[in-house]
Structures are given as structure tokens and as C-alpha cells.
């Protein structure tokens, strides 16, 4: 694959494409009014509503992505920018998962763009692999392993989901941005889901079923067969490696490398411990320490545990103490 070429941090640009937006029709207006009346207290902003609701509209959204965003999708598919909700992502999962677009047809159209010289191979391969290589894979996991899969909890994580997942009110700039965006658009791209809200939940030891229920509730493309394996398996590693070979756990350095969130954060990503340090830093090593009995023998975690073991005892204690204080504050929200 071309992942090595697909991890460039993005910069704000006046020429960044915007998603295809659709004007609401009378039927959609009627449904919006019904939702406003019956679910006024539910999570999420109803307006503005710009999703496609017909196959023709979804096809227009697909054509817009392939011509306007696909050429740069590969380079920046892992990037995050404060205030930039969509970057070069397709936003086609809404329509593929709802049945308005055929996944194979969509992949063949991306392939055609590459053959015509309209999009580079790293972008097209990355896009196609997300659909054929990943979406269909998690579909297989779901149908093979349910219903028992729902109750897997490899790390015995039991912390309740923090309230800020529903409000966005947190001093961590990256999580505040991703959750606020989720509330406004019912959308966040895969790195925001995996390495921000998902990574934090993993490091903090949040109940994976609660995390799953949140993702299922807040995203417009979340159907259980595709959302559950991604959340429980890939994001929370609650299946113990059935779906993926290692936990997707990372400290603040990854977020700083792939985004500009840290520039406007109350916490300092360069500080590793103490009250002003980025919480991801101490939570990462706390996660490594408390799950050593389950992860130390994982070959892909060997370097991590080698680094942890080389730390002096007092340094390890500083990480664990900082994490404990943060988690205590989380529990009393």
C-alpha cells in the first residue's frame, strides 16, 4: 500500500474543496420538522441539513469528490486542521452505507480517474482500500462474530463515558474540536474518530460498549455492522486483536504531528507530566503500564515496553501520578 505517502500534515488553503451540498426538498423539510418536534433534546444540530437524500443527489456528491478532492485525498487523509471539518475526504460513507451508492461502482469510478491521469495512485489506492479492503472486512467480522462480539472487553475497561463527549466542553482542544464538529455535522473523518475520540477512550479505560453506543448515536454513517467492529475492535481493541494486530494508542506527539490542534490548546503537548501537560502523554504510559500483562507479549508492542522498562522508577511514577490525577478529575465531572 501507499500509506507512507499518505501521512502528510495539511495546511489551511483557500482552495481546499468543500463537500457537495444539497438543498432540502419538501419531504426533507417535513422530516426535519418532525425530528425538531419529537427529539428536541437529542444530541446534534439539525440545521443546516445538506445531505443527499436521493440516488441522483448522491451520484452528484460522488462526482464532485472524484473531480475536486480525490487527487489530494491520499496525501492528507490522516491530517487534521482546527476549523476544517472535511479536508479532502469523500463524505460518501453516508450514501454507500445507506444504499444510495454502490461500493464497487464507486471504486471503479476512482480507478477510472487514476487510469485517465486525473488522480494519483496513492490517493486512489487509499480510497479503494478503505472500501474494499476495510469496509468489507469489518462487514465480515460483524456477521461472523455477532452477537457475542458486542460484549467483548479485553482490557476490562469500565470507566463511564465522560460528559464532554455529549457537550464538547473540554479544555483539550483536539477533542473539543472533533466533538463540536460531530455535534454540528454528524460527521468526523476516520482519524478524528480513531486517534482523537477513540484514542482518548482507549487510554482512559472507558467502557467499550459505551463508546460503541456513542459512535452509533452521533454519526450519520453509523450502521451497527460497520460501526461496531471499527469501534470495539479497531479503536478500543476490546476484541483482543481479532480485528487488528495492536491497539491504536498514541500520545500527544502524534496529534501534534498530524494536526494544528495543539497550537491553541490550554495544555502543552511538549510537557510530559504535571498539571499543564497534554493529558494524552501521561494517559498513554498509564495505559501501557496497567495493561502490561495483556500486551507485553504482543510483538508490535515490544519497542513500547522496551522504552517503558528503560525509564527510571521516578519517571514512571511521575507519568502514573499525572494520569491518576487527570482520571480522578474525569470521574468527578
3-145: what fold?
1.25.40
Closest Cα partner for 254 from 4, 2, 9, 73? 9
Grouping H, G, I as helix, E, B as strand and the rest as coil, residue 237 is coil
Chosen CATH of 164-331 out of 1.10.579.10, 3.30.540.10, 3.40.190.10, 3.40.50.720? 1.10.579.10
Question: 84 - beta bridge partners?
Answer: 81
Q: 48: how many CB neighbours lie within 10 A of its CB?
A: 9
Q: Which of 139, 183, 239 is nearest to 42 (CA)?
A: 183
> What is the pTM for the complete model shown?
0.95
Same fold flag, 3-145 and 164-331: no
Secondary structure class of 330 (helix, strand, coil): helix
Delimit the domains of the chain by residue range. 3-145, 164-331
User: Considering just the CA atoms, what is the radius of gyration of the chain in Å?
Assistant: 20
Give yes or no for a contact between 21 and 49, defined as CB atoms under 8 angstroms apart: no
Taking only the tens of pLDDT, the chain with its 333 residues reads 888 888 888 888 768 899 999 999 999 999 999 999 999 999 999 999 999 999 999 999 999 999 999 999 999 999 999 989 999 999 999 999 999 999 999 999 999 999 999 999 999 999 999 999 999 999 999 999 999 999 999 999 999 999 999 999 999 999 999 999 999 999 999 999 999 999 999 999 999 999 999 999 999 999 999 999 999 999 999 999 999 999 999 999 999 999 999 998 999 999 999 999 999 999 999 999 999 999 999 999 999 999 999 999 999 999 999 999 999 998 776
Amino acid at each position: 500500500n501507499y500509506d507512507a505517502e499518505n501521512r502528510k500534515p495539511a495546511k489551511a488553503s483557500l482552495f481546499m474543496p468543500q463537500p457537495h451540498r444539497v438543498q432540502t426538498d419538501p419531504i426533507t423539510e417535513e422530516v426535519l420538522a418532525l425530528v425538531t418536534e419529537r427529539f428536541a433534546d437529542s444530541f446534534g444540530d439539525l440545521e443546516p441539513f445538506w445531505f443527499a437524500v436521493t440516488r441522483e443527489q448522491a451520484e452528484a456528491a460522488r462526482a464532485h469528490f472524484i473531480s475536486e478532492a480525490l487527487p489530494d485525498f491520499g496525501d492528507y487523509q490522516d491530517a487534521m486542521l482546527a476549523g476544517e471539518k472535511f479536508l479532502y475526504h469523500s463524505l460518501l460513507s453516508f450514501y454507500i452505507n445507506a444504499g444510495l451508492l454502490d461500493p464497487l461502482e464507486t471504486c471503479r469510478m476512482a480507478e477510472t480517474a487514476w487510469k485517465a491521469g486525473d488522480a494519483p495512485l496513492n490517493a486512489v489506492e487509499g480510497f479503494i482500500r478503505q472500501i474494499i479492503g476495510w469496509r468489507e472486512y469489518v462487514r465480515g467480522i460483524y456477521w461472523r462474530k455477532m452477537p457475542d462480539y458486542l460484549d467483548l472487553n479485553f482490557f476490562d475497561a469500565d470507566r463511564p463515558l465522560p460528559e464532554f463527549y455529549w457537550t464538547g466542553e473540554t479544555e483539550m482542544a483536539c477533542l473539543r474540536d472533533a466533538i463540536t464538529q460531530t455535534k454540528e455535522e454528524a460527521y468526523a473523518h476516520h482519524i478524528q474518530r480513531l486517534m482523537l475520540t477513540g484514542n482518548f477512550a482507549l487510554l482512559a479505560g472507558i467502557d467499550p460498549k459505551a463508546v460503541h453506543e456513542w459512535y452509533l448515536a452521533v454519526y450519520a454513517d453509523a450502521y451497527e455492522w460497520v460501526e461496531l467492529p471499527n469501534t470495539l475492535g479497531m479503536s478500543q481493541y476490546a476484541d483482543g486483536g481479532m480485528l487488528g494486530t495492536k491497539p491504536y494508542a498514541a500520545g500527544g506527539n502524534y496529534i501534534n504531528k498530524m494536526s494544528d490542534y495543539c497550537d491553541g490548546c490550554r495544555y502543552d503537548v511538549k510537557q510530559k507530566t504535571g498539571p499543564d501537560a497534554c493529558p494524552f502523554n501521561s494517559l498513554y504510559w498509564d495505559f501501557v503500564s496497567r495493561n502490561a500483562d495483556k500486551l507485553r507479549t504482543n510483538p508490535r508492542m515490544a519497542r513500547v515496553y522496551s522504552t517503558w522498562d528503560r525509564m527510571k522508577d521516578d519517571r514512571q511514577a511521575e507519568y502514573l501520578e499525572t494520569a491518576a490525577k487527570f482520571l480522578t478529575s474525569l470521574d468527578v465531572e
